[in-house]
Amino acid sequence: MSTDQNAALIIFVKNPQPGRVKTRLAEAIGEREALKVYLKLLDHTWRVTADIPEDTHIFYSDFIDDNDRWSDVNHYKHLQRGRDLGDRMRHAFAKIFNRGYRKVVIIGSDCLELQSNHITRAFDILNRFEAVIGPARDGGYYLLGLSRMVPDVFQNKTWSTDSVFEETIRDFQNKNIIWQELPVLKDVDTAWDWEEHL
């Protein structure tokens, strides 16, 4: 159980299956090699979140895996629901807020530069601000945190493009939401991204 029972971490993961993960990377290195890369990304995500004291909710892309690294009493498991990434995140945030949490942070499983201190910092920011966002170098974001449900940030976006971060900030501004940014990090989406980490 979390030391802060009002806070929850959401982790979006894809079930590791050839042809279903890192599809842009697979175009360059093949589906099996892309799967190996994604397994390394999952391992990194597990390691940097293992000691996070907040309640952790894993949202799977296709099915709930009862026998993976997150199979212990400290993790809650769910299935992602929705038509696109924004719809799936909106559903996840709504579900967790409806459970009574007041600070919710979401991360994916694509960022080798992400460290536990980024997540800890995000929860600390939510003690004083309404939102926190971690911009990714490709124009998206690797982390988003909210202290209340804001459906607008999950709607009317062209996901996986370089406009997502700017459009989300515009939503904050339009809703008069006070936010703070984390450092810019780089996701692993392409062969070039992966080569930078070799």
194 is a domain residue: no
Can you list the alpha helix ranges (DSSP code H) found in the chain? 23-29, 31-49, 85-97, 116-125, 164-174, 191-195
pLDDT of residue 5: 79
Q: What mean pLDDT, rounded, does the chain reach?
A: 91
3-state secondary structure of 59: strand
pLDDT tens-place string over residues 49-63: 999 999 999 999 999
Residue 6 vs residue 191, higher pLDDT:
6
For residue 161, what are the CA distances in angstroms to 139, 140, 141, 166? 7, 7, 10, 11
Read off the pTM.
0.93
HSE-CB at 166 with a 13 A cutoff on CA atoms is 7
In eight-state DSSP terms, residue 104 is E
- pLDDT band of 190, cuts 50, 70, 90: low
Q: How many domains does the chain contain in total?
A: 1
132 is a domain residue: yes
Tokens 């391992």 correspond to 43
196 is a domain residue: no
1 is a domain residue: no
131 is a domain residue: yes
Residue 45 above 80 pLDDT?
Answer: yes
Domain that holds residue 168: 7-188
| CATH number of the domain to which 24 belongs | 3.90.550.10
> What DSSP assignment string belongs to 118-154?
HHHHHHHHTTTSSEEEEEBTTSSEEEEEESS--GGGG
Residue 175 above 90 pLDDT?
Answer: yes
pLDDT of residue 193: 64
**Helix (H), strand (E) at residue 105:** strand 103-107
128 is a domain residue: yes
- Closest to 10 (Cα-Cα) out of 184, 158, 157, 143: 143
Question: What mean pLDDT is predicted for residues 101-115?
Answer: 96
pLDDT of residue 23: 84
Determine the Cα–Cα distance for residues 118 and 71; give it in Å rounded to an integer. Answer: 24
